[in-house]
Amino acid sequence: MISVLILTLNEEINLPGCLASVKWCDDIVVYDSYSTDRTIEIAKAAGARVFQRSFDNYANQRNAALTQVEYKHSWLLMLDADEQATPELYGEIKNIADCSQVSADLYRMRRKDIFLGKWLRYSSGYPTWYGRFFRVGKVRVEREINEEYHTDGKVGHLKAHYIHFPFNKGVAFWFERHNRYSSMEAAALLHDVQMPLEWRRSFSADPVIRRKFFKQLAYRMPGRPVLVFCYLYLFRRGFLDGRSGLIYCILRSIYEYMIDIKVHELRRRANGHPV
C-alpha cells in the first residue's frame, strides 16, 4: 500500500504526533540525523524502522533516504516530524495507491501552518504546493534548502492537506532553526540571482514554477523584508489571521532580513573585504 518516511533530529516533542497521524501505515521509516534525545526510543516503540545519517543539507538527506532504504510499498509519503497527515489525506492517497490506472509518479499537496493554535490561512502565503507523495524510485530532490521535488513522469495535485506545526518547540527554537536556514538560503540565493529571469515562467500553469519565478524576482528587489511583510500582511490579507498573523508576518520579515544580511556578508568575503 503506502510506506511513510519521516526525517528527524531531536524530535521527541513532535514525533509522537506525527507517528499517531500515520498509524494506518505498516512500514514507517524514521531517517534520523543522530538525535541525542528520545527520538529513536519513541520511533522504535511505535514499530518504525530507524536509519541514521549525518546531516549535511536537506536535499542530500532526503535523497539518501530515498535511495539507501528499501521500502515495503511502491508509494511513499514523506513527512517531517513536525508535520501530520490528516484522515482526508490518507483517504486520498490510499485511493491512488490502490488504483492500477494512475499515471502520475509525483503528487503535490498543500499544507496548513499552525501558530498559536490557529491555521495561518492568509499570512503563510497559502497555498504552496509540496511534492510529498510519490512512487518510490521516481523522484529526486534538488536545492539544499526549501527543496524542490522533481520527476521525469507526470505530476498530479491532491485536494487534501497535511498539517505543519513549525512552532511546537517554541519561538526560540524557530529563531535558532531559521538562523541556520537563512545561512543556507543566502548561499543558494547568490547562485539564483546570477541566473537570468525567464519572464514566461510567471505565466506557467505550474504553481511551483510560478512561485519559483516570483521568488527569484523578489530577491532582486530592494527593501525586500519590508515588501515581504506588506505582501503577506496586506496583499495576502494576513491581518485576517489576527494576532497570530501579525506576529508571523513580523517573524517572516525578520527572516528575510537575516538572509539579506548574510548575502551582503558573503559578497564582501568573496571580494576579499572584511565583514
> 155 phi and psi, to 5 degrees?
-120, 135
pLDDT for the residue 196: 67
Q: Which three cell numbers stand for residue 25?
A: 501505515
Among candidates 76, 36, 31, 84, which has minimal Cα distance to 58? 31
| Residues 153-207: tens digit of each pLDDT | 999 999 999 999 999 999 999 999 999 999 988 887 776 666 666 767 767 777 7
| Residues 72-91: tens digit of each pLDDT | 999 999 999 999 999 999 99
| Buried b / exposed e along 141-167 (16+ C-beta atoms within 10 A) | bebbbebebebeeebbebebbbbbbbb
C-alpha 96/C-alpha 29 separation (Å) is 21
Confidence grade of residue 147 (pLDDT, cut at 50, 70, 90):
confident
- Look over the chain and give the mean of its residue pLDDT values, rounded to a whole number: 91
Residues forming beta bridges with residue 163, ordered by sequence position: 84, 112
Bigger pLDDT: 233 vs 273? 233
CATH value of 2-164 in 3.90.550.10, 2.60.260.20, 3.10.20.740, 1.10.240.10: 3.90.550.10
Above 90 in pLDDT, residue 144? no
**Collapsed DSSP state (helix, strand, coil) of residue 4:** strand
Task: Provide CB contacts within 8 A for 10, sequence distance 6+.
Answer: 35, 36, 37, 39
CATH 3.90.550.10 domain locations along the chain: 2-164
| Residues 258-267: tens digit of each pLDDT | 998 998 898 8
| Whole-number CA gyration radius for the chain | 19
| Residues 92-111: tens digit of each pLDDT | 999 999 998 888 999 999 99
pTM (predicted TM-score) = 0.87
